[in-house]
Amino acid sequence: MTVHEERDVVIVGGGPAGLAAARRLAAAGLRVTVLDEQPELGGQYFRRPAPEVARVWGEHRPEGRRLVEAVRAAGVECRTGHLVWGVDDDGRTLLVSDPAEHPVRLRGRYVIVATGAYERPFPFPGWQLPGVTTPGFAQHLAAADHTPIGERVLLAGSGPFLLPVACSLLALGVQVAGIAEAGHPYRP
């Protein structure tokens, strides 16, 4: 296993949260490394569309590109294609696979975990039928790829994420029949 030099801060996750932290910490003079398993930085919110889509629709959320540029300009070491799969007993040494799937050990005086959230689909009768999908997938298609998931959509689930999904669908001319919210997030 390769042992790399110790960094001041190692950040797991190059989405909006990890990038914002990296920019601040690097500006304060710390040596920062960002690790992300994806081939590009940006995470879910600033995910780049396919080049063919970008050619037709232009840049998706250009503030994401500007944030990545600012992070790189601040001297942050960015390692994409690096999957963090464990932490050693000291709690500060990350066990990582590089893009060639070689094991790497990377130690930070401080470690920030900014690995984001993920959808937790709740199985119900019919959830695998054609035309049923997760809000995240509908959002990915709509926001990044300008492709509506359907002509008329009912959103169901819980939490504020349903709202940006509804907005993205509406912006594409989709008829949003309603939002079925399982919780009570908007109760005063």
Ligand X SMILES: Cc1cc2nc3c(=O)[nH]c(=O)nc-3n(C[C@H](O)[C@H](O)[C@H](O)COP(=O)(O)OP(=O)(O)OC[C@H]3O[C@@H](n4cnc5c(N)ncnc54)[C@H](O)[C@@H]3O)c2cc1C
Choose the binding region for ligand X from 24-32, 40-48, 124-132, 147-155 (rule: CB under 6 A). 40-48
Q: Is 111 in the site for ligand X (CB under 6 A)?
A: no
Number of helices (H) and strands (E) in the chain: give both, helices first: 6, 9
CA 109, distance to chain mean position in Å, is: 24
Residue 128 is encoded by which pair of tokens? 């695998």
Taking the least distance from each CB to ligand X, the nearer of 125 and 156 is: 156
Q: Is 54 in the site for ligand X (CB under 6 A)?
A: no
Site string for ligand X, 117-156 (x = CB under 6 A): x-x----------------x--xx--x-------------
* Shortest distance, position 177 Cβ to ligand X, whole Å: 20
* Shortest distance, position 63 Cβ to ligand X, whole Å: 12
* Shortest distance, position 144 Cβ to ligand X, whole Å: 8
Cross-strand pairs, 156:
180
How many residues bind ligand X (CB under 6 A)? The answer is: 27
Q: Is 114 in the site for ligand X (CB under 6 A)?
A: yes
Instruction: Please report, as residue ranges, which positions from 71 to 110 form the binding site for ligand X (by CB under 6 A).
Output: 83-84
- The closest of 96, 135, 78 to 2, measured between CA atoms, is 96
Tell me the C-alpha distance between 46 and 29, whole Å: 26
Instruction: Please report, as residue ranges, which positions from 3 to 22 form the binding site for ligand X (by CB under 6 A).
Output: 12-18
* Shortest distance, position 172 Cβ to ligand X, whole Å: 13
Axis crossing angle, helix 16-27 with helix 62-73, rounded to the nearest 10? 30
Query: How long is the chain?
Result: 188
Cα distances (Å, whole numbers) of residue 42 to 16, 33, 66, 84: 6, 15, 10, 17
Tell me the C-alpha distance between 168 and 137, whole Å: 12
Q: Which residues bind ligand X (CB under 6 A)?
A: 12-18, 35-38, 43-45, 83-84, 114-117, 119, 136, 139-140, 143, 161, 164
